[in-house]
A and B are shown apart, each in its own frame.
Chain A
Amino acid sequence: MNKVWLVLRQEIVSTFTRRSFQLVAFGLPLLSGLGFVIFTLIDRAAPGAFARLTAPPRPPAGQVEGFVDPGGLIRTIPNDLPAGSLREYPDEASARQALSTGEISAYYLIPEEYLETGDVVFVQKDFNPFAILEQGAAIRHVLQFNLLGGDAELTRLVAEPYDLNVTVLHPTSERDEESPLTFFLPYGVMMVYYVLILMSAGFMLSSLNKERENRVLEILMVTVTPRQLLAGKIAGLGLIGLLVNLVWVGTAYALLRVGGATFQLPPAYQLPPSLLAWGVIYFLLGYAVYASLMGAAGALLPNLRETSQATAFIVIPMVVPLFFVSLLIEQPNGALAVLLSLIPFTAPVTMMLRLAIVSVPAWQLALSIGMLASTAALILRAVAGLFRAQLLLTGQKITVRTISRSLFSRD
C-alpha cells in the first residue's frame, strides 16, 4: 500500500511540474479569461467593433435588379414591390451590359420553358452561393402574381395559406423547442464528460508510454510490483483529471458571473444538484474503464505512433453517442438513449446527457452503474494481468499468444 501511495504522489508531483500540463490545466483558462477581459474592454471602448469586423456587408438600400423574360410571363409588377426595384431588359446581352455598368446589382433570367422546368437563373457580379438562401423572394412573388393572372389576394393566400395554431396534448418536455439552451445545455454536459474522461485517460497513456520509452519502467520494476504501479497511476491521474475539470468549470462559471451575464437559467433548464453526485460516480467508473485500456496500450505498444493508432480504436465507443447526439437530446428516454446508457462503454457520456434533460428511472440508473462497475472491475483485473514485468520489458515482442497467456494464467 505504501508503494501505491508513493507512485500516486510521484505521479501527481511529476504531472503538476510539467510545463505542458500547467499550460493545459491553468494556461487555457487563464488565456480564455484574458481574452474575455480584452474582448470586454474593446467592446466597452468601441461598441460593435467585433460585429463590424465580421458581419457581412449589407447591400445598399434601394438596389435595382433586372430581369430578362423572353417567354413574356411577367406582364405586371405587383404594387407591393417598391417602384422601380425591378427593371425589365429585352435580352440577356443588355442586362449583362447594365450589370457591368453598375446600373443594376444583379439580374434574373426566366427561361421560356419556365412553366415546365421551374428554373430561374440569378446572375450577380461576384459569386456568392449564399444568395441562394437570401435571394429569390421578390422574383418568386412576381412570378406567382403573374401566374395567377394578377390576383393579389389569391397570391397572398397561396403564399401563406393559413395562420397555424399548434396545440400539443402530451408534451414530453417542458423545454422550449426553439430555445438554443434545449440543445446546448445537455450537449455541453456531454462534451465536458467526454473531454474529462478522455483527457484523464490520455494522461495515463502518455505517462506509461514515456516511462517505457526511456526505460524508466524497467528500473521501477525492481522495487514496485506492476499492479502497485498501475493502481498508483490510475488513482493519481484520476485525481488530477478531477482537479482540472474543477478548474475549467470554475473558470467558466466565474467568467459568466463576472462578465455581467446574469447566470439565471429558466426553471425548466436548471440542472438538478443530484447531477453532481451522479457526475462523480460516472466519471470515476468511466475513467477506470478507459484509463485501464489506455494504460494497457501505453504499456504494451512500443512507441507513440502505434499507441496513437491503438487509442483511436479504444475511443470509438466513446464517440458513438456523439453521432446520435441530436436524437438523444430529442428523445432522452427513447430506446436508443436507454440502450446507449446501459452499454458500459457508452454509458458514462450518454447517462450524463440524459440526466441533464430528464429524470431517469431508478432501475436504469442502478442497472447502468452495476454493469459499468462490473466492467470496470473486469477490465482492471485483465489489465493488471497484462501488467507483468516480462511484458513491460523493452524489446519484448508482444503477440496475441503472450497476451492471452498473461490474461488467463494464474499468478
Chain B
Amino acid sequence: MSKTWSIAAHEFARHVFRWRFVLGLLSLPAFVGMMALVIFLLIRSETDRRPVGYVDHSGVLSADPPTGLPVEMIAFDSEGEAAQALEAERIQAYFLIGSAYPESRRVELFSLDDPSETAIDGFEEFLRYKLLTDQPGEVVRRLLEGDQLEVQSSDGGRRLQEGDWLGLFFPILVGFFFMIAVFATTGYLMQAVIEEKENRTMEVIMTSVTPGQFMTGKILGIVGVGGTQLLVWTGFIAVFLLLGSRAFGWFDRLHVSPVYLLQVAAIFLPAFVMIAALMVAIGSTVGEAQEAQQFTGMFTFPAFLPYWFALQLMSNPHGPLAVGLSVFPLTAPVAYTLRAGFAQIPVWQFLLSLLVISGCAVAAIWLAGRTFRLGMLRYGQRLNLREIFGSPRRGA
C-alpha cells in the first residue's frame, strides 16, 4: 500500500509543483475574466445615452419628464424642429404623439438607424409616469419599478430570483469546469503512461512495484491533481463572488443549494476515476501519443454531447432524453449537472446514476489493469480486443 501512495504522491507532485500547472490553473480564470470584461465593455459601448426628443400634440406629456430616466428627454414644439435635431445628430431619435393618441394609442418613432433599447425604454417609462399622475406615490413607484419574482421548490431548499442570471447558468458552468479539469488532467495521465513506456522507465519501475500498485497510484495521483485544480477554481469563483457582492452588491440574489452541490460531487468523483482509468487503458493499448489523442475523442465527444441538447435537458428535465443521458456513464456527469440544476431529481434516479457510474468506474479500473499488464512491456505493437478480453494465455 505504501508503494501505491508513493506513486500517487510522485504523480501528484510532478504535475502540481510545476510552473506549467500553475499557468494552466490561472489561465482558465484569466480567460473567463477577460471574456467577462469584453462582454461588459461591449454592452457598455452598445448602450446609446444620447438624448431623445418628443413632439406631443395630444397633451399627455404636458409636464416635465421625471428624474432618473435612462436617457434625457427633450420636448420639441414641431416635427420640423425635431427632424432637424435628428439630422444634426443632436438627438438619437424622436417620438411623435398625435392628437388622436388617447383613442388610437399610436405613437411614431423616427430614428436614423435602428432605435436603441434605451430610447424606447426611457420613453415608455416617461409615458407610464404621466399616465399614473393621479396615483399615490408608492403605487407609482411600484408600478414603474415592477416586481421581483422568486421561484421556490415546495420544501424551500431550491430557489432562484428573477434577474439572477448566474444562478440560471450555474449548472452549465459547473459541468464545464469539471469536464475541463478532468480532460486536462487525465490527458496528462495518458501521456505519462505512454512517455514512461517510450523511454523505458516502465521497465525499471516494474522491478519494484506490481502493475496493480503502479496503476492505482497513478490514478489516485491524477484524481488528486484534478481535485486540486477544481478546488483552486472554486476558490477563485468564491473570492470573485464575495468581492462582487461586498464591493458592488452583485450576486446578492444568488442562491446555490448545498444538496445540489453534494449530489453533483457524488456523481463527479466516480466519473473522474472512470475517465482516468479509461485513459490509462488507452495509453497502454496504443503505442503512440498521437494515436492516443485520436482515441480520446471517443470519450470527449460523448462527455460534451449533453451540451448539444442543453436546451432540451433544461426545459424538459424529466423527459426520456434527459433521464437516459444522465444514466449513461459517459454522458452522465454533464447531463446530470444540467438536469439537476433545473428540476428535483427523484432519489431512485440519483441512486441509479450513481450506481451505474460507480460500476463502470470499477469495470474501467479492471480494464485498465488488464490492458496495462498486457501492454506495459510491448513496443510497436498494439493490443487487440481478443487479447484484452480473452482468457490469459500461459506465459502472457
Contact = CB atoms under 8 A, between A and B. Distances in A.
Interface string B133-153: 001001100110111111111
Interface of B: 20, 35, 38, 42, 45-46, 86, 101, 104-115, 120, 124, 127-128, 131-132, 135, 138-139, 142-143, 145-154, 158, 160-162, 167-168, 188, 191, 195, 288-290, 293-294, 309, 312, 314-321, 341-344
Given A129-B167, A131-B151, A327-B46, A166 B115 contact: yes
Query: Which 9 residue pairs across A and B have the least CB separation, nearest first?
Result: A127-B153, A54-B312, A118-B147, A162-B107, A127-B158, A56-B315, A56-B316, A161-B127, A136-B149
B111 A169 contact: yes
Interface string A101-131: 0000000000000111111111111111111
Contacts of B321: 53-54
Nearest to B146: A118
Main secondary structure of the interface of A (DSSP, over half): mixed
A323 B35 contact: yes
Contact of A323 (B38, B293, B312): B38
A204 to B, nearest CB: 14
A148 interface: yes
Interface in A318-346: 323-324, 326-327
Nearest to A135: B149
A114 B289 CA distance: 63
Contact of B110 (A54, A100, A169): A169
Interface string A157-170: 11011111111111
Contacts of B319: 53-54, 56-57
Given A118-B148, A131-B151, A206 B314 contact: no
A132 interface: yes
Contacts of B120: 164
A129 B342 contact: yes
A144 B147 CA distance: 10
Interface of A: 20, 53-57, 96, 99-100, 114-132, 135-136, 140, 143-144, 147-148, 154, 157-158, 160-172, 177, 206, 209-210, 213, 303-305, 309, 323-324, 326-327
A171 B114 CA distance: 7
A54 B309 contact: yes
B12 to A, nearest CB: 18
B290 A206 contact: yes
B177 to A, nearest CB: 18
A316 to B, nearest CB: 10
Given A53-B320, A163-B104, A128 B343 contact: yes
A123 B111 contact: no
Contacts of B105: 157, 160-163
Contacts of B312: 54
Nearest to A309: B20
Given A119-B148, A124-B151, A147-B143, A303 B289 contact: yes
Given A53-B321, A126-B153, A120 B342 contact: no
19 contacts: A53-B319, A119-B148, A120-B150, A122-B151, A125-B153, A127-B152, A128-B342, A129-B342, A135-B149, A161-B127, A162-B101, A163-B106, A164-B109, A165-B107, A167-B108, A169-B110, A172-B113, A206-B290, A324-B38
A167 B82 CA distance: 14
B316 A57 contact: yes
A166 B145 contact: no
B191 A305 contact: yes
B38 A144 contact: no
A123 B109 contact: no
Contacts of B147: 114, 118-120, 136, 140, 143
Nearest to B170: A129
A326 B45 CA distance: 13
A324 to B, nearest CB: 7
Greatest chain A CB density within 10 A among B149, B152, B342 is at: B149
A128 B168 CA distance: 10
Nearest to B97: A162
Given A53-B320, A125-B154, A127-B153, A161 B191 contact: no
Contacts of A305: 188, 191, 289
B160 A129 contact: yes
Contacts of A304: 191, 289-290, 293
A71 B298 CA distance: 59
A148 B135 contact: yes
Given A129-B168, A129-B341, A115 B142 contact: yes
